[in-house]
């Protein structure tokens, strides 16, 4: 049953494609869609409706299709697609969809995303879009044109327009294709329009290629455009009458499009219903092509009652008293300009009575509709049948909503579900508004304009690349020791080190015993570290911390608590005085960036007169905690008499180190810091000398036994220092510190606030779940914040926040818990939070019997050491298009003081490079090797940040294209030329992007992000090497590059 | 996503910035001299207009500078 016209259409009849639909084999041609190929085989019935179970056909020839839903199972799998948008390929297998699609498994195809920038973005590649793009190019603008069809031409191809128009289109295309300033993206649908000219669009790269083409299947474009011109044309609308959903009822413009694009006649004998002149033109065109036109009903003359007969296909039509035999009903019901992106921008619509259409009311900021407005049309009354074919919403359903009192079209939409399907009411919205009688308002348009795969939105941020994993320098050593890791913010920290099949509890018990009876080591490198320099540093810290810091002696260390202005604990840590005008502050792991931001905020916005400058040195130092009564055996004799809360410089395992005597466990303990890149070497030296490695779980148990809170675990933003029992750390002498005024509010001195307490379950083997409620006489009075088994106590214990807790020690309460036995309560006793060594007798440890002589540590290591092979493979795969390699930065200084160069630029000398970080912040690096660079004489603060940053070079002719996958900056050389630098996001990391030479960029990042970024670059480079995309210009390249890529 | 003009680094994506709320809320010179009500107002009460207002941003992923801009909260249009 071949319904092809003998000559019309743009399909390639020289080659036959075979496909299977609903288990039956058919043939079609290259250039077909699944819908056109089905129609060519006489098939209209494609799907079954979602609620009423009625047969449904093909209404349109485009992405606005409401009903022709199919499941594609080969050569790719997609559970819900419209047949009008599936390009036919050999071996395509699809099934009719009844109701909704169902996912069958993970989508293993490759998806990615790219940033692009232009002056003018044109949406729609029809005659209006092409001429708008050409005009913009001639004005000197950079232009991106997106068009969702396989080839540009739009309505000209639908209407089979005269040769002169086609010549104009060909001329316009020739101009765009030869222009370096223009990029034309076919098979690309604009999805959404956001603030400041951001448009997202999805590009389909491989579905039209033979199976196994590989490469990126879909690419999400994020385009920043100065102006957005919508050449999106119109959608034709159906009419509402009895039987308007029977397969064979189709838009008249779609029938014309199937003839001119695909050479398909959609029926033998048709009844045409029209509200305007275009229906007559369609009848004439189709009649001339061989379709018999039974009658043309023009509603402007008369609109008799229409009823369509037929089950899975139109058999006949009653027009008033007359009945016509027909297998197609072609409806020209008027037009709706495609204004979803305009409406997303906040553009207003108005009803144009003569055109019978909602049209744009002017333009909205940079968003303008540039297609012609549709021709005049009558708007006839609704007779009956369906308004939303996909959601099975009838005219009667909408009337019921109105009768129920719903007066807004938004409410009608939610009551009836009209307009909520995959097509978002593109063809039904106007009918729904008419039926609702609410004064012709359309519902709000939201992205995405067409359905889009979650996998496409996720792009390459999946699996291991979902979020950056920050690793310490000793990460591989922890892996080799069999560590089980946990996520702390983006950091991956070793939680415990099971041996010989130990459970977590067994491992933690062993690690705790080692720390309390001999010596154990933990990687504490993730703690935030900030160096503060300047004559007012002490004064500044006095204002930030609740206690006095300025009196600290050089060489001494003090514990401090920071509150917000609301008086609630914000962070805690230690402060070491390195020199008169120099302090080192440590923060909790998760709060490092927040504390630095907090300091900068106060210095920049409230106290600019204070002469103090802050520099992050978190990844300057790898820090290993050495804990236990025998800790001195691992440290040089020069440190053995170091008093508690003091620091000194020393050489440990041959490495220059800073040794701090700080304890978070109550035991004798040291924190030993060396250059970040030597962290693995120091760790290995300690473990090799017999120290037991321990992880964060053991650290938590040890500190909880001593009643030390963890900010963020035992606190939640409603807890004051006094609530934690840290009143001793709140100065009463200082006139002022942040939070002091709030601590004088009546609420913060209430006696019935929640206090930190210890909790001992009656059952010593029961570990209460964290979060368990504490209940007194049936009233909830608190909750468990930390809970562990303790080797030292020989039983379980917990910390909790308890109303008036400080005054309830010894009281008996109930704790709720939910376990295998269901929800139940258990009895507990309230105690002091300090359960272990309350008199601090353990702090000084044992005198060392024999000091272990640590061998000199091995050399420092790079986070990219394991990537050499993968970097080499990238160069091979891209034919030298991209080369990735580590670049040593050598000695580094971070200098605060007037920057000696314009913003976002660099100064390169033979030995050193200065990179702009901020108006008073400069990074000096030494890629050529050698000593620390000499800071400028007028510097206010100089901090050695050697090892705190590492660099990867991305070089080669396609380097910029690779970066555009993960960098939102406009990287064209006239915007970001060689010699420039910018701190920005690359992939999901913060990076300092340094454009060192024409074809070479350096990504300067913290070493903890290095492995993630290297993984990402290797993965992203695969997006460059597919045949489908290598010739795709990006609209952000110089003319010669553009030419090189096109040839 | 907003495109925010950092006075030092130029237009950058919103994700590079931290929001600082209403501009011009000055930390009191002597918090101890304020009544509880006055202190509470400083801590918790902010304007919430529909239309133009001045707000603070920090270019957190870039130069880390704080700056003030004027934005229309209804349309997200920037003005100098």
pLDDT in tens, A948-960: 999 999 999 999 9
Q: Per-residue pLDDT tens for A935-950? A: 888 899 999 999 999 9
pLDDT in tens, A417-442: 999 999 999 999 999 999 998 778 88
Q: How many Å apart are CA A637 and CA A640, to the nearest integer?
A: 5
Residues of B in contact with A983 (CB under 8 A): 9, 61-63
Q: How many residues does chain B have?
A: 80
pLDDT of res. A167: 85
- Render pLDDT for B5-35 as a digit per residue (tens, 0 to 9): 999 999 999 999 999 999 999 999 999 999 9
| C-alpha distance from A65 to closest chain B C-alpha (Å) | 30
- Residue to mutate among A968, A993, A994, with most B CBs inside 10 A, is A968
User: A476-515, pLDDT tens digit by residue?
Assistant: 999 999 999 999 999 999 999 999 999 999 999 999 999 9
CATH 3.55.40.10 fits B3-79, yes or no: no
Q: What average pLDDT does the segment A651-677 reach?
A: 97
Residue of A nearest to B40 (CA): A742
Q: In this predicted structure, what is the pLDDT of residue A705?
A: 98
- Pairwise CB contact (< 8 Å): B32 & A741: yes
- The answer to whether residue A198 neighbours chain B at the CB level (below 8 Å) is yes
Identify from A224, A605, A905 which residue to disrupt to test chain B contact, counting B C-beta atoms within 10 A and taking the largest count.
A605
Provide φ and ψ at A967, rounded to 5°: -125, 125
Of A204, A197, A200, which is closest to residue A148 (Cα–Cα)? A204
Q: Is the ipTM of this complex over 0.95?
A: yes
Spatial separation of the C-alpha atoms in residues A368 and A365, rounded to whole Å: 8
Chain B hits for A604, Cβ within 8 Å? 65-66
Among all chains, which residue has been given the structure tokens 């999400």?
A: A220
For A432, phi then psi, to 5°, come to -60, -45
Cα separation, A538 vs A558, in Å, equals: 12
What distance in Å separates residue B20's CA from the closest CA in chain A? 9
- Whether a cis peptide bond, with omega within 30° of 0, leads into A75 is yes
Instruction: Answer whether A741 touches B (CB < 8 Å).
Output: yes
pLDDT at A437: 86
Contact between B43 and A601 using a beta-carbon 8 Å cutoff: no
Backbone angles phi, psi at A608, to 5 degrees: -65, -15
Q: What is the C-alpha separation between A570 and A263, in angstroms, rounded? A: 71
**How far does B48 lie from chain A, in Å, by closest CA?**
20
* CA A9 – CA A26 distance, rounded (Å): 19
DSSP track, A953-1004: EEESTTHHHHHHTTB-S---TTTS-TTBEEEEEETTEEEEEEEEETTEEEEE
d(CA A776, CA A959): 65
Chain A CA closest to residue B33 = A741
Say if CB A944 and CB A934 are below 8 A apart.
no
Q: Do A194 and B1 touch (CB under 8 A)?
A: yes
Residues in chain B whose Cβ is within 8 Å of chain A: 1-3, 8-10, 12-13, 15-16, 18, 20, 26-27, 31-32, 34, 36, 39-40, 43, 56, 58, 60-66, 75-77
Structure tokens at A289: 């092509």
Residue A451 has pLDDT above 70, yes or no: yes
H/E stretch holding A34: helix A34-40
Which H or E run includes A219? strand A216-230
First to last CA, chain A: 44
Task: Tell me: pLDDT of A1036 over 60.
Answer: no
Q: Do B20 and A194 touch (CB under 8 A)?
A: no
pLDDT surpassing 70 at residue B1: yes
In the stretch 364-383 of chain A, residues with CB closer than 8 A to chain B read 365
CB atoms within 10 A of CB A78: 18
Q: Quote the CA–CA distance of A881 and A959 in Å, as a whole number.
A: 7
> Each residue of A313-345: pLDDT tens digit?
999 999 999 999 999 999 999 999 999 999 999
Least CB–CB distance from B2: residue in A195, A565, A983: A195
Cβ–Cβ gap A745/B39 under 8 Å: yes
Residues of B in contact with A615 (CB under 8 A): none
Rounded distance between C-alpha atoms, residue A370 and residue A181, angstroms: 20
Q: How confident is the model at residue A1033 (pLDDT cuts 50, 70, 90)?
A: very low
Chain A closest-CA separation from residue B13 CA (Å): 7
Cα A733 vs. chain centroid, distance in angstroms? 48
| Residue A763 pLDDT class (50, 70, 90 cuts) | very high
Coil, strand or helix: which one is A520? strand
Average pLDDT, chain A: 94
Q: Name the DSSP class of A874.
A: H
What residues of chain A lie within 8 A of the CB of B13, using their CB? Answer: 968, 985
Q: Is A829 on the interface with B (CB under 8 A)?
A: no
Name the residue in chain A with its Cα closest to that of B37: A745
CA A512, A513, A517, A521 torsion: positive or negative? negative
Q: How confident is the model over A467-476, as pLDDT tens digits?
A: 999 999 999 9
CB A50 within 8 A of CB A389: no
- Kindly indicate the confidence band of residue A1035, based on its pLDDT and cuts at 50, 70 and 90: very low
**Mean pLDDT for the stretch of residues A714-739:** 95
- Cβ of A985 under 8 Å from any chain B Cβ? yes
Closest CA to A558 of A581, A534, A543, A541: A541
Closest partner CB to B16 (pick from A740, A917, A984): A984
Residue A982 has pLDDT above 80, yes or no: yes
pLDDT-derived band at A847, boundaries 50, 70, 90? confident
Count of beta carbons in the 10 Å neighbourhood of residue A520: 30
Of B8, B16, B31, the CB nearest to A741: B31
A 10 A CB-CB count for A506 gives 15
Nearest CB to B63 within list A565, A736, A917: A917
Q: Where are the alpha helices (DSSP H) in A422-553?
A: 429-436, 454-458, 475-480, 504-517, 537-544
Q: Which of A600, A606, A919 sits opposite B27 (nearest CB)?
A: A606
A975 at B interface, C-beta within 8 A = no
Q: What is the pLDDT of residues A49-94, one digit of tens each?
A: 999 999 999 999 999 999 999 999 999 999 999 999 999 999 999 9
- Cα angle A85, A91, A95 (rounded to 5 degrees) comes to 60
Sheet containing A893-896, strands listed edge to edge, beginning at the edge strand earlier in sequence: A906-908, A913-918, A921-925, A893-896, A941-944
C-beta atoms of B62 and A983 within 8 A: yes
Task: Report residue A749: phi and psi, to 5°.
Answer: -110, 10
pLDDT tens for A788-810 read: 999 999 999 999 999 999 999 99
Contact A760, A829 (CB under 8 A): yes
For residue A159, the distance in angstroms to the closest alpha carbon of chain B comes to 38
- Cβ-Cβ contacts under 8 Å, B76 against chain A: 195-196
| Closest to A339 in 3D by CA, of A363, A309, A315, A319 | A363
Per-residue model confidence (pLDDT) at position A1025? 58
Whole-angstrom distance, CA of residue A532 vs CA of residue A511: 35
Strands A773-776 and A754-761: unpaired
CB contact under 8 A, A346 and B31: no
Question: Average pLDDT of A1025-1032?
Answer: 41
Q: Which of A100-109, A178-187, A298-307, A426-435 has the lowest mean pLDDT?
A: A100-109
Rounded to the nearest angstrom, the minimum Cα separation between A903 and chain B is 6
Residues of A with Cβ-Cβ distance to B43 under 8 angstroms: 565-566, 742
| Yes or no, beta carbons of A224 and B3 under 8 Å apart | yes
Q: Between β-strands A328-332 and A249-251, what pairing exists: parallel, antiparallel or unpaired?
A: parallel
The distance between the two most distant Cα atoms of chain A, rounded to a whole number of Å, is: 113
What is the rounded distance in angstroms from the CA atom of residue A272 to the CA atom of residue A331? 6
Portion of chain A with pLDDT greater than 90, in percent: 87
The Cα–Cα gap between A582 and A79 comes to 63
Nearest to A523 by CA among A720, A416, A637, A681: A681
Helix, strand, coil tally for chain B in percent (to 5): 20, 35, 45
Would you state the structure tokens that stand for residue A253, as one six-digit string?
């413009």
Beta strands A110-123 and A216-230, pairing class: parallel
Q: Inspect the interface and report whether the beta carbons of B39 and A601 lie closer than 8 Å.
A: no
pLDDT tens column, A505-530: 999 999 999 999 999 999 999 999 99
Q: Which residue has the tokens 């061989």?
A: A290
Contact A741 B26 (CB under 8 A): no
Residue A210 pLDDT class (50, 70, 90 cuts): confident
Instruction: Judge whether residue B72 has pLDDT over 50.
Output: yes
CB count within 10 Å of CB A725 equals 18
Q: Which of B36, B43, B65 sits opposite A604 (nearest CB)?
A: B65
pLDDT at A670 over 80: yes
Instruction: Give the whole-angstrom CA distance, residue A428 versus residue A434.
Output: 10
- Residue A108: the pLDDT is 86
d(CA B56, CA B69): 6
Four-CA torsion A532, A537, A538, A539, nearest 10 degrees: -140
Residue B71 φ/ψ, nearest 5 degrees: -135, 145
Pairing of β A582-587 and β A328-332: unpaired
Cβ atoms within 10 A of the Cβ of A31, count?
22
What is the pTM (predicted TM-score) of this model?
0.94
- Decide: residue A354, CB within 10 A, 0-12 exposed, 13-18 middle, 19+ buried: exposed
Residue A819 pLDDT class (50, 70, 90 cuts): confident
Q: Give CA separation, A698 vs A73, A117, A376, A480, in Å.
A: 51, 51, 77, 19
Q: A919: which chain B residues are within 8 Å (Cβ-Cβ)?
A: 8, 63, 65
Whether A348 and chain B come into contact, CB under 8 Å, resolves to no
Backbone angle region of A642, left / alpha / beta, with phi > 0 → left and psi within -120 to 50 → alpha = beta
Residue A1046 has pLDDT above 70, yes or no: no
- Average pLDDT estimate for A604-617: 97
Name chain A contacts of B56, Cβ cutoff 8 Å: 605
pLDDT score of A1029: 38
Question: Chain B partners of A904 at a C-beta cutoff of 8 Å?
Answer: 8-10
Q: Which residue in A194, A740, A904 is closest to B31 by CB distance?
A: A740
Give the start-to-end residue ranges of the domains of chain B: 3-79
Closest residue in chain B to residue A737, using alpha carbons only? B31
pLDDT in tens, A1003-1021: 999 999 999 999 999 999 9
CB contact under 8 A, A198 and B1: yes
Residue A528 structure tokens: 């935030």
Cis check: omega of the bond before A448, within 30 degrees of 0: yes
Confidence of residue A1040 (pLDDT cuts 50, 70, 90): very low
Coil, strand or helix at A156: helix
A207 CB-contact burial (10 Å; exposed 0-12 / middle 13-18 / buried 19+): buried
Residue window 72-91, chain A: list those with CB within 8 Å of chain B: none
Confidence of residue A821 (pLDDT cuts 50, 70, 90): confident
Distance CA A532, CA A872 (A): 41
Q: Which of A207-221, A741-755, A909-923 has the lowest mean pLDDT?
A: A207-221
DSSP conformation class of A87: B
């Amino acid at each position: 049953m071949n319904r092809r016209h003998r000559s019309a259409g743009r399909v390639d009849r020289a080659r036959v494609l075979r496909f299977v639909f609903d288990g039956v084999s058919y043939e079609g041609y290259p250039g077909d869609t699944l819908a056109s190929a089905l129609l060519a085989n006489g098939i209209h019935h494609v799907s079954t409706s979602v609620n009423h179970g009625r047969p449904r056909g093909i209404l349109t020839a485009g992405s606005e299709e409401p009903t022709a839903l199919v499941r594609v199972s080969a050569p790719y799998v997609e559970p819900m697609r419209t047949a009008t948008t599936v390009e036919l390929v050999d071996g395509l297998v699809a099934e009719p969809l009844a109701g909704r699609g169902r996912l069958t498994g993970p989508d293993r195809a490759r998806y990615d995303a790219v940033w692009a920038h232009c002056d003018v973005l044109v949406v729609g590649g029809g005659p209006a879009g092409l001429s708008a793009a050409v005009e913009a190019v001639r004005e000197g603008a950079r232009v991106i044109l997106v068009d969702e069809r396989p080839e540009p031409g739009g309505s000209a191809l639908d209407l089979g327009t005269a040769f002169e128009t086609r010549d104009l289109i060909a001329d316009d295309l020739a101009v765009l294709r030869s222009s370096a300033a223009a990029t034309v993206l076919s098979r690309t649908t604009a999805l959404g329009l956001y603030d400041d000219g951001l448009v997202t669009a999805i590009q389909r790269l491989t579905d039209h290629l033979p199976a196994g083409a590989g490469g990126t299947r879909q690419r999400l474009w994020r385009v920043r455009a100065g102006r957005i011109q919508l050449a999106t044309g119109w959608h034709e609308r159906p009419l509402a009458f009895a039987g308007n959903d029977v397969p064979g009822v189709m838009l008249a413009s779609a029938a014309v499009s199937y003839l001119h694009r695909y050479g398909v006649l959609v029926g033998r004998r048709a009844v045409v219903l029209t509200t305007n002149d275009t229906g007559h033109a369609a009848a004439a065109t189709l009649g001339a092509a061989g379709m018999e036109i039974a009658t043309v009903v023009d509603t402007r003359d008369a609109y008799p009652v229409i009823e369509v007969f037929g089950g899975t296909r139109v058999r006949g039509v009653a027009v008033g008293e007359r009945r016509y035999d027909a297998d197609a009903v072609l409806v020209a019901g008027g037009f709706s300009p495609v204004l979803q992106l305009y409406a997303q921008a906040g553009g207003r619509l108005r009803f144009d009575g003569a055109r019978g259409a909602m049209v744009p009311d002017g333009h909205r900021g940079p968003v303008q509709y540039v297609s012609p407005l549709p021709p005049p049309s009558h708007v006839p009354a609704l007779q009956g049948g369906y308004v939303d074919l996909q959601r099975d919403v009838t005219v009667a359903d909408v009337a019921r909503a109105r009768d129920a009192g719903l007066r807004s079209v938004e409410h009608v939409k939610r009551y009836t579900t009209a307009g909520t399907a995959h097509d978002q009411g593109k063809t039904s919205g106007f009918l729904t508004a008419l039926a609702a009688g609410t004064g012709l308002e359309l519902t709000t348009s939201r992205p995405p304009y067409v359905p889009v795969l979650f996998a496409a939105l996720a792009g390459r941020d999946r699996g291991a690349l979902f979020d950056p994993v920050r690793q310490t320098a000793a990460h591989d050593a922890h892996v080799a020791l069999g560590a089980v890791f946990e996520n702390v913010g983006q950091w991956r920290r070793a939680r415990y080190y099971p041996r010989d099949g130990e459970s977590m509890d067994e491992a933690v018990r062993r690690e705790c015993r080692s720390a309390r009876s001999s010596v154990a080591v933990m990687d504490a490198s993730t703690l935030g570290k900030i160096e503060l320099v300047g004559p007012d540093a002490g004064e500044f810290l006095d204002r930030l911390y609740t206690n006095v810091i300025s009196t600290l002696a050089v060489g001494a260390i003090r514990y401090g608590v920071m509150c917000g202005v609301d008086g609630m604990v914000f962070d805690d840590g230690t402060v070491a005085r390195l020199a008169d005008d120099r302090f080192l502050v440590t923060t909790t792991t998760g709060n490092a960036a927040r504390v630095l931001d907090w300091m900068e905020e106060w210095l920049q916005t409230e106290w600019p007169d204070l002469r103090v400058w802050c520099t992050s040195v978190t990844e300057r130092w790898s820090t290993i905690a050495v804990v236990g009564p025998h800790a001195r055996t691992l440290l040089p004799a020069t440190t053995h008499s170091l008093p508690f809360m003091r620091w000194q410089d020393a050489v440990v395992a041959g490495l220059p180190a800073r040794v701090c005597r700080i304890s978070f466990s109550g035991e004798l303990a040291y924190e030993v810091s060396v250059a970040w890149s030597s962290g693995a070497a120091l760790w290995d030296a300690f473990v090799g000398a017999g120290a037991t490695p321990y992880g964060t779980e053991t650290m938590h148990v040890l500190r909880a036994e001593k009643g030390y809170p963890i900010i963020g675990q035992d606190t939640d933003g409603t807890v004051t220092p006094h609530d934690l029992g840290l009143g001793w750390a709140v100065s009463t002498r200082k006139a002022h510190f942040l939070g002091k005024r709030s601590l004088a509010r009546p609420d913060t001195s209430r006696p019935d606030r929640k206090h930190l307490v210890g909790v001992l379950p009656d059952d010593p083997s029961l570990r209460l779940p964290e979060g368990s409620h504490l209940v007194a006489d049936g009233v909830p009075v608190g909750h468990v914040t930390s809970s562990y088994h303790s080797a030292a106590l020989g039983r379980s214990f917990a910390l909790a926040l308890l109303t008036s807790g400080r005054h309830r020690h010894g009281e008996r309460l109930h704790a709720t818990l939910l376990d295998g036995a269901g929800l139940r309560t258990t009895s507990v006793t309230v105690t002091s939070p300090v359960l272990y060594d309350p008199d601090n007798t353990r702090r000084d440890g044992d005198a060392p019997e024999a000091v272990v002589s640590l061998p000199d540590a091995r050399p420092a290591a790079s986070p990219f050491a394991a990537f050499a092979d993968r970097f080499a493979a990238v160069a091979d795969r891209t034919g030298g298009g991209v080369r990735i390699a580590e670049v040593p930065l050598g000695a580094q200084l971070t200098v605060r003081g007037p920057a000696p160069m314009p913003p976002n630029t660099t100064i390169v000398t033979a030995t050193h490079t200065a990179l702009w970080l901020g108006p008073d912040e400069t990074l000096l690096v030494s890629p050529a090797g050698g000593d620390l660079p000499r800071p400028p004489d007028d510097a206010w603060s100089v901090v050695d940040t050697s090892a705190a940053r590492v660099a990867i070079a991305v070089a080669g002719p396609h380097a910029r294209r690779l970066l555009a996958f993960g960098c939102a900056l406009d990287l064209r050389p006239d915007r970001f030329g060689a010699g420039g630098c910018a701190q920005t996001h690359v992939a999901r990391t913060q990076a300092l992007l340094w454009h060192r030479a024409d074809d070479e960029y350096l990504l300067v990042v913290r070493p903890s992000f290095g492995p993630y970024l290297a993984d990402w670059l290797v993965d992203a480079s695969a997006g460059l090497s597919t045949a489908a995309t290598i010739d795709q210009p990006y609209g952000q390249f110089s003319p010669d590059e553009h030419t090189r890529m096109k040839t | 996503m907003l495109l925010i003009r950092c006075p030092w680094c130029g237009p950058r994506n919103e994700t590079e910035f931290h929001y600082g709320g209403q501009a011009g809320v000055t930390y009191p010179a002597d918090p101890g001299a304020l009544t509880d009500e006055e202190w509470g107002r400083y801590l918790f009460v902010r304007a919430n207009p529909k239309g133009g207002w001045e707000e603070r941003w920090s270019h957190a992923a870039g130069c880390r500078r704080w700056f003030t801009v004027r934005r229309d909260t209804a349309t997200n249009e920037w003005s100098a």
